[in-house]
Every structure is written in structure tokens, then in C-alpha cells.
Amino acid sequence: MNHVGGNNYGIIIGGNNRGVVTNVVPDTKERSTETPVENGTDASAQTWTYDIALSYASEQERTVRRVAAILETEGLKVFFAPDRQGQFAADNMIARFYRIFRYQSRYAAAFVTEDYLRKDYTLYEAEAAQLPDGHGRKNRLIPIYFGGAALPGLDSDICFVRGDGMREARLAEQILQIIRERDGGQ
């Protein structure tokens, strides 16, 4: 897998798409009640529950918690699971996180480590964020790679950040920069 580009992130070139999770959303009716709402006819005017959802292995919770706090300070609505534990009692977590990462978040940042790659939940979250969001919008995943770990089989248009050696403020700034560029420099 190769990458090109500047600004500490690049475009991944090549790779085969992994199989995606298709059976975790119980039914279309439930999914449709949780998709973003369009304001008018312009799909770019959608409203989302979250600006960004953060996917990570529990071993990185301390770092990701700090990144979440910085992103919130910058005005983003952040999904950080430990802050929402009370909302998930008796829920099917795979189905709930699938909806959050696919339909309810404009973007998803995946903090990819070797621990991340060994866990089913984290891989489901990353896969859900790569699927179209119900309005045909793709390219919402922002992978952040640590220690040589990388998500296998990403689409060729996915930007990523090399996070090794970066402090939380720099990681948050990289995420914000990618979001601004994808949103057209806003």
C-alpha cells in the first residue's frame, strides 16, 4: 500500500476492499429513522447527530479522550463512546455503532494500532464509515496510523494521517484540516 501527498497525510493508492458488514442493521425502517435529515433539496445541507465519531481500541482511550476534548473545544459535535455509555444500556452495540459510524456522523476518525486491528468492534466501525451514508456520500473515514498498523483494503481516495510521535493537539489539528479540505475549505 502506498501513499502520496503532503501535510502529514496522503492518498492511499491500491488495495482490495475487504468484505463489508451488511447484516448488522436489523431492518430498513429502523435505519431510516436515524439517517441524517436534509434541509431543503441540497444534500450538502444535511444535519448530522455528530460531526465526527472516534473509533479506537480501548488501549488508546486516554489519547483519544484528549483529542475528543480538543475537537469539542473547536466546536465539533464528537461521538466518543465513553461519554455516551448511559445511552447504550441493553442495546445491540454492533447495530448501534454501525448506525452511528455510517449514518449519524459526517466523518469518522479511526486511531489504528495493532490492538485496533485485532478487535471486531473497531473494524466494524471503520467498515461502516467507509460505506455510503444513505445519501451517496463516501470518503468519510480519516484513518490515523500508529506503529506501522494500517487498515487493509481501503478505497484509493481515503486520506490518512501518520500519528506516530504526534501529541493530541497535533492529531486534532490534522483531523480538522482534513475535514476543512473535504468540506471545501470552510
In a domain, 31, yes or no: no
47-94 pLDDT tens trace: 789 999 999 999 999 999 999 999 999 999 999 988 776 666 656 777
pTM: 0.73
In a domain, 85, yes or no: yes
In a domain, 28, yes or no: no
In a domain, 114, yes or no: yes
In a domain, 22, yes or no: no
In the predicted structure, residue 24 carries a pLDDT above the cut 50: no
Q: What is the span of the domain harbouring residue 62? A: 2-13+47-182
In a domain, 42, yes or no: no
Q: What is the CATH number of the domain that holds 143?
A: 3.40.50.10140
In Å, how far are 51, 91, 92, 107 from 181, measured between CA atoms?
14, 35, 34, 12
Structural domains counted in the chain: 1
Dihedral-angle region of residue 15 (phi above 0 means left; psi in -120 to 50 means alpha; beta otherwise): left
Percent of the chain with pLDDT over 90: 49
Q: What per-residue confidence (pLDDT) applies to 175?
A: 96
In a domain, 26, yes or no: no
In a domain, 19, yes or no: no
